[in-house]
Amino acid sequence: MKLMINDTPFPFELLPLGDSAVILRLVSGISIETHRIVSSLTAAIEAQPFAGFMGCVPSFAAAAVHYDPLLVSRSRAGDELKHGTIFETVCARLKACLSKELTSAADQVTRIVEIPVCYGGKYGPDLSFVAEHNGLSEEEVIAIHAAGSYLVYMLGFAPGFPYLGGMSEEIAAPRHQTPRTSIPQGSVGIAGKQTGVYSVSTPGGWQLIGRTPLALFRPQEEIPSLLRPGDSVRFKPITTQEYMLYIEGEL
């Protein structure tokens, strides 16, 4: 199957995810272009939801389309009554939705989110390892990390946890062989060629280079995540004193 975006065909496949979701997976690797395609098809599905549609969750090269099986069943009509399964009906509705040419998400306005980070010390206990591993000073690691512009590909692993693309390979570092049992909320880490921010306190094996005083997961708000797929993230170095002022609500 193929969907058309700006006269360009992109192959995709539909796969069941339990009894109440469909995975719409692009037959392509992880890239900015793939991210834009996922954003385009997610927007198209949400703009014309079918009966029983509950939500669409984008990832690196796919989107999970969640639905209510009972509502889908009750709303079937015409040729849909011949379908042997609810999955078949949902696939037919998705194909109909995506049969029209989509608009590329390349021109959509990108949110730029600045995240303050206190690097090193007790907030970034692995900064020295990352520096030594790459033959750099701690100051150089901070400068390289803070100079990057990072694309939020998706949220996952933990509520509000961003998967970021765009980190320089100059500061890449391996995960810990033995993960820590608890990583403080707000910790900024590096794992391989990727960087990220722990949105909640969880176990983890990333190399911790700093911490942000901002809460990425905000369950009390209507949109419970500070970041969203498609955002552009910039990290801003701050001092320990500034970190405490953020915590106290004075910045």
pLDDT of residue 104: 59
Q: What angle do CA 60, 70, 222 make, to 5 degrees?
A: 50
pLDDT at residue 194 above 90? yes
Domain 2-106 identical in fold to domain 112-247: no
- Closest by Cα among 85, 112, 73 to 18: 85
- Closest by Cα among 54, 56, 58 to 26: 58
Q: What is the mean pLDDT of the chain?
A: 91
pLDDT of residue 97: 86
pLDDT of residue 249: 84
Q: How far apart are CA 191 and CA 205, in angstroms?
A: 8
Which pLDDT band holds residue 101 (cuts at 50, 70, 90)? low
pLDDT at residue 4 above 60? no
35 φ, ψ (degrees, to nearest 5): -60, -45
Q: So where are the chain's domains?
A: 2-106, 112-247
Q: What is the mean pLDDT of residues 112-139?
A: 98
pLDDT at residue 100 above 90? no
pLDDT at residue 175 above 70? yes
pLDDT of residue 8: 58
Architecture of the domain made up of 2-106: 2-Layer Sandwich (3.30)
Q: How far apart are CA 58 and CA 151, in angstroms?
A: 14
The one-character DSSP state at 102 is: B
Which pLDDT band holds residue 126 (cuts at 50, 70, 90)? very high
Indicate the CATH number of 112-247 among 2.40.50.100, 2.40.100.10, 1.10.10.10, 1.10.3720.10: 2.40.100.10
pLDDT of residue 228: 92
Query: Could you tell me the two tokens for 15?
Result: 């796969």
Which pLDDT band holds residue 186 (cuts at 50, 70, 90)? very high
